[in-house]
Amino acid sequence: MQKLNLFNPLTYKREEFTFNSLLKKILLSPKGSDSFILYSFSYEDCGCTFKKLDSGFKTPLTHEEKERIESGHTPIIREDEDTSIPSGKYLFEQYPDLSEEELLPITFASITAAKGGEDILYIRLYKENELECVMQAFRPCTR
């Protein structure tokens, strides 16, 4: 687990997904597609429970959008993008394998237990290339 300072928000068009339906969509999407699901989570007698709060999807960046980012400028926010992973400080973890909705409490156990208590967790799925999808977790960090 690392600390990550996200200087610019990652913006998305709001779309409704369950984790498993988003996983299917991102795997069938073109390289460069990006998505997220926001969960609140808490620990109860039965373990860690997740409640979905928001989700979104972004089609691959255009050549112009990539050039803008590579030249150090702030990313272009598309007209239909209405949700985001906000800029800020996060506990961050990247996972070598994709998970399933039923396994979220186990998959994200280390990052959700990091501070204890109730909090939120952004899960990002990014289509890195035709064969690989990256799964990342972002948990707001206050220190």
Where along the chain do its domains lie? 2-140
Q: From CA 95, how far away is CA 22, in angstroms rounded? A: 17
Domain 2-140, CATH class in plain words: alpha beta
Edge-to-edge strands of the sheet including 47-58?
Answer: 2-6, 88-95, 133-140, 119-127, 34-44, 47-58, 10-14, 83-85
Among 70, 87, 88, 68, CA closest to 78: 68
Max distance between CA atoms of the chain, in angstroms, equals 50
Q: Token digits for 141?
A: 């960090």
pLDDT per residue as tens, the chain (143 positions): 889 999 889 999 999 999 999 999 999 999 999 999 999 988 877 778 889 999 999 999 999 988 988 888 888 888 999 999 999 999 999 987 888 888 888 888 888 876 666 789 999 999 998 888 999 999 998 65
pTM of the full structure: 0.89
